[in-house]
């Protein structure tokens, strides 16, 4: 395997067409800084209630100058095979991120998946399509067996994304994660390769929620 490459990353996934437009998922780029910062800072109220609490102000943590450090960290983890970081684009424009983290190989072959989408793309099947593309990739090229996702019970939109894709609810984690300044309960959802033998994207196409190409 070439140096710096690990199963499943880097990769470009899609395109598929959803209601919002042409959806693709690709590796993050250093030149994404301005677009990433613009969406993140604009959508603070939409995103801050669901994301882990981190030191510093929202504007500073999501400024253009904050992206190179995040990009470098994600790339380093990906090259070590610990993370599969992706950017979501719709019609060529940055719309969000999907990150597969805590990748464990061996007898577990498991990871978690997290995602966010800007307000300009929340109602067009973007999150659902992006997670489907990444999950199919994880279960095939990346060689994983299980994906987990945790979400606050109040985040109804994210819960709908996971349930539409067939993730099963496996329990409630009490005071699981510090979000928006407090320890919040999270629902745990999971999916394994046996649950989707034909793939998630194929299921979306069959349901008329997406088109290939």
Distance between CA atoms of 123 and 57, rounded to whole angstroms? Answer: 28
Structural class in CATH, domain 13-212: alpha beta
Mean pLDDT for the stretch of residues 171-178 = 97
Read off the pLDDT band of 122 (50, 70, 90). Answer: confident
Residue 6: predicted pLDDT:
80
Instruction: For the chain, give the percent of residues with pLDDT over 90.
Output: 93
Average pLDDT over residues 113-121: 94
Would you state the pLDDT for residue 117?
A: 97
Asked if pLDDT for residue 93 goes beyond 70, the answer is yes
The pLDDT of residue 2 is 46
**pLDDT on residue 124:** 92
The per-residue pLDDT of the chain, averaged, comes to 95
Is pLDDT of 121 > 90? no
State yes or no: pLDDT of 213 exceeds 90.
Answer: no
> What integer is the mean pLDDT of 115-129?
93
- pTM of the predicted protein model: 0.95
């Amino acid at each position: 395997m070439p140096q710096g490459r690990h199963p499943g990353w880097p990769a470009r996934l899609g395109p598929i067409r959803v209601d919002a437009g042409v959806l693709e998922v690709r590796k993050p780029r250093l030149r994404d800084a301005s677009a990433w910062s613009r969406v993140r800072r604009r959508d603070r109220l939409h995103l801050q209630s669901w994301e882990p609490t981190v030191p510093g102000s929202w504007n500073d943590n999501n400024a253009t100058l904050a992206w190179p450090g995040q990009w470098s960290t994600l790339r380093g983890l990906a090259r070590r095979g610990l993370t599969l970081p992706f950017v979501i684009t719709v019609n060529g424009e940055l719309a969000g991120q999907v990150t597969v983290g805590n990748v464990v190989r061996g007898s577990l072959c498991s990871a978690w998946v997290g995602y966010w989408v800007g307000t300009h793309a929340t109602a067009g099947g973007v999150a659902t399509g992006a997670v489907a593309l990444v999950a199919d990739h994880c279960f095939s090229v990346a060689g994983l067996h299980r994906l987990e996702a945790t979400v606050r019970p109040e985040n109804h939109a994210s819960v709908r994304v996971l349930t539409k894709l067939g993730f099963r609810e496996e329990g409630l984690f009490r005071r699981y994660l510090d979000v928006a300044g407090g320890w919040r309960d999270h629902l745990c959802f999971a999916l394994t390769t046996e649950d989707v033998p034909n793939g998630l994207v194929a299921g979306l196409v069959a349901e008329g929620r997406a088109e290939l190409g």
